[in-house]
Structures are given as C-alpha cells and as structure tokens.
Amino acid sequence: MPVIQYREALNQAMSEEMERDPSVFLMGEEVGHYQGAYKVSQGMLQRFGDKRVVDTPIVETGFAGVGVGAAMTGLRPIIEFMTFNFSLVAIDQVINNAAKILQMSGGQFKVPIVFRGAGGAAGQLGAQHSQSLESYYVHCPGLKVVMPSTPYDAKGLLKTAIRDDNPVVFIESELLYGSSGEVPDGEYLIPFGVADVKRVGEHCTIVAYSKMVGLAEAAADKLAAEGVSVEIVDPRTLRPLDLDTIVASVKKTGRCVVVQEGWPLCGMASELAFQIQEAAFSWLDAPVARVTNEDVSSPYAKNLEALVMPNPDKVIEAVRKVMYLDAPVADRGEA
C-alpha cells in the first residue's frame, strides 16, 4: 500500500471528487497560484483551472457566504480557511446560515458544503493562531464535525464530507500535514459516526482525536514498559459521535482518560467525560479524567507554550491517577 503524507491524502480526496463530480470546486485563501498555504491543493489549479480552484481575498465572511449560496443552488463547494482561527470571522455564515437553512427553509434548500483548514496549535504561532475551536461547531445542530488523525482517515473522511448533503466542518492539524501513512490506491469512503480503535489494550481507555492520537500513542508506549496496557479510541467524527465504540472500550477496561487539545471549560473532553460516565457508570472503577490545555490563551514563548499544551507525561499522569498506581494499596480498592 502506498505511503503518502496527510496533505497528499487530502489533495487526492479533493482531486478525485472533482474528477467524479463537476459540481465540486475549491475556494479559499492561496489555494490556487500559491498551491495552498500548506500545499494541500498543490497542482490542482493546473489540473482543474481557475473556475474550480478559486483564489479569494482575505475576507472569510465573504467567500464563506458565497460558498453557502453556491451550495444552495446545487454546487458542492469546499471552502478552505487558511487556519480555522480565521473561521471566527465567518462564524455567522457557518452557524447562522449553513447550519440552519435546511430547517428554516422547510427542507427546500440543502447546503452540501465543506469548511476545511488547519486547526490547533502548530508551534509558536501566538494566541490568535493556536486555538482549537471544534467545540464551537460541535455545539451547533445542523453541522457535522470531522477531525482525522491519519492520512488514511483524512482521505476517506474528506471524500465522505464532500458527498454529504449537509454542511461539514473538517478540521485538520497543521502539525499532521507532513505526517505519513498507508493510503490505498483505490476508492474508499469512511462513514461518519464510526470510531476507530487505534490500539487495543486492557487496563485503561484513552479517547483522543486529531494530533492527540499520536500523543496518546507516545504515552501508551511508555506505559507499556510499566506493564500498563492502554486502549486508544479515536472518534474521528465528533458530530455525529460513535459513543457505542467508546463505551464498549470503557466497559472492557473500567477506566478512561480523554485527551483534548483546547481549553477545559465546556470543551469536547468535558462532553465526552459526561457521556461516558452517563452510559458506563456501573463499569467505571474511577472517574473519567481529562487532559486538556491549561485554561489560558496560548503563549508565544516556546517554553511557556509547552507548559500550556497536553503532552505524553500529562497523559501518563492521568492514566496512573485513574488506575490508582500512585495511591497506597488501601486506597486502590484492593483486599
């Protein structure tokens, strides 16, 4: 199976869908002549022309609105935000228009649009360019929210997103663009609402998505040396959420840690922890633990940014906590 980069998998997904369906087009900042801010759309302008790979001004609310209108009239736009931090400028178009038009029109207008781009921190980009905003969009009915962690998932999920008749928020990690993985040559789709068990284990479940999956893997490798077997579940889509797969894992292990890049208050980790405890309370041997950013805006300084972000050691500490490995024997519930 070919090994390609995450950015190449996204490029393949968009190119294949544009070849398959002439109603699909890409529009956004630097997607054409510059070949994409992160080279995701490299070669697509030359292949499809400037009517289907459209460079825009830095006016997110404008071109997001154009995309919503195009989707209402039968096209399938892919709207690229250079970074999802910039989606805040267009959040009115995403939440008040794209997410609500199907319901408010009584089903007369579908909005088959994909809003995609880089999210999360990427290393000393400062507070305004290092935010994880997925919980803003997961909160809103009418949107689907996707955050793939591997090139394989990125391609299969993006193709599904482009074919979906509903608006999809598709958030990629800037730090994953250069990562590599196996991606089949042939056509494949990954359905929404189907989580993936990235690593099978026995003692504790870690729920993680996007680049936090790699961080969880690093923690799991270190824990394995201590004799702790960790299972890692990647939801892949946050809305719709495959709670069944997550709960099945937690029922097996009896313990759970949720890892999320982003602020703790009202974040995705909080929602996951609640839903897990509601669905699997009787199987839990400890409360669900969260690993998140610290509750501050991301600093620019490298050493301070590292303190704010999740890391493998914080995940290991959380796993040890839910397993009572640092507690006296009497506090572990052992005879």
Peptide bond into 141 cis (omega under 30): no
> CA end-to-end span of the chain, whole Å?
51
Longest dimension (CA), the chain: 71
**C-alpha closest to that of 150 among 212, 204, 200:** 212
Alpha-carbon span 261 to 121, nearest angstrom: 8
Angle at Cα 268 formed by Cα 265 and Cα 270, nearest 5°? 55
Q: Which active-site residues does the annotation give?
A: 60, 129
**Which residue's structure tokens are 């089949």?**
184
Task: Report the length, in residues, of the chain.
Answer: 335
Which residues face 81 on adjacent strands?
117
**10: nearest Cα among 230, 166, 176:** 176
> Which residue, 34, 40, 39, 29, is CA-closest to 62?
29
Sequence letter at residue 106: G
Distances (CA, A) of 169 to 117, 135, 136, 139: 9, 11, 11, 12
**Three-class DSSP category at 80:** strand
With contact defined as beta carbons under 8 Å apart, do 217 and 193 qualify?
no
DSSP 92: I
